[in-house]
Amino acid sequence: MTRLTERPAAASGTFRIGGDLPVHRLGFGAMRITGPGVWGEPADRDEAIRVLRRAVELGVTLIDTADSYGPFVSEDLIAEALHPYPDDLVIATKGGFTRHGPNIWEPLGRPEYLRQCVEMSLRRLRLERIDLYQLHRIDPKVPLEEQLGVLRDMQSEGKIRHIGLSEVSVAELEEARKIVEIATVQNLYNLTSRQHEPVLEHCERHGIGFIPWFPLATGRLAEAGGTLAQVASRHEATPAQIALAWLLHRSPVTLPIPGTSKVAHLDENLAAATISLTDDEVAQLGKAA
């Protein structure tokens, strides 16, 4: 039997997306396996393939991507590296952005476009059903009922299992939940960016998975002599590993998805799941931020 230390992501515990879809809480974000500006092919395609396969070897059961990463490159690489997929692997993807160049993102939530996004993601990922499909951004020019309505329709058609949102406020989340069941929310959140604390608290109250993107940011907290550096030294860990461990300890609904294009960095990130912080350390880190 595989030992837990050989699959460190398993040490992060389990969360059931939508109440019925179990994943290890420390996952992998597949944005960084594309080119600069999240545009085009990666500099080292073979290494990107190795990263994806290594993530699964290390116990990752949640890989988060989007059709806009590349665009399309990330989804294509995932299918190339991992299909046919392990039975316990959940691939979450997103739609609702158009891309016209590096670092250019424009929301587009017209129902016919979102339906096309889902159909094309199914084709690229070689899936019959997407376990978690997330609206990448709410398009302010299109009624929310229309954007979520088409995803609800495709859920009824068996092409989507669970629906999630990305970068939303509590008010937007509450409005969305009147239209369709929301299984996850993916917002910017890390040790130094805490503006979405109310959204996380709402998710925790209602059993909604909270996927913090950009989870590794530490900023000045990592400077020598600071709380983060002291805790990292105590655990013989890096500040980034402690930042990930803090996210896992922050709430049972957090599902961090650190991304990287290098195997060595992946190994380091996933080792964070094995770090046990004390309640005092969690509180100190939260207060320091």
Active-site residue set: 69
Q: DSSP per residue over the chain, as a string?
A: ---GGGSGGGGG-EEEETTTEEEESS-EE-STTS-TTTBSS-S-HHHHHHHHHHHHHTT--EEE--TTTBTTHHHHHHHHHHPSPPTT-EEEEEE-EE-SSTT--EE---HHHHHHHHHHHHHHHT-SSEEEEEESS--TTS-HHHHHHHHHHHHHTTSEEEEEEES--HHHHHHHHTTS---EEEEE--SS--TTHHHHHHHHHHT-EEEEESTT--GGGGSTTSHHHHHHHHTT--HHHHHHHHHHHH-TTB------S-HHHHHHHHGGGG----HHHHHHHHHH-
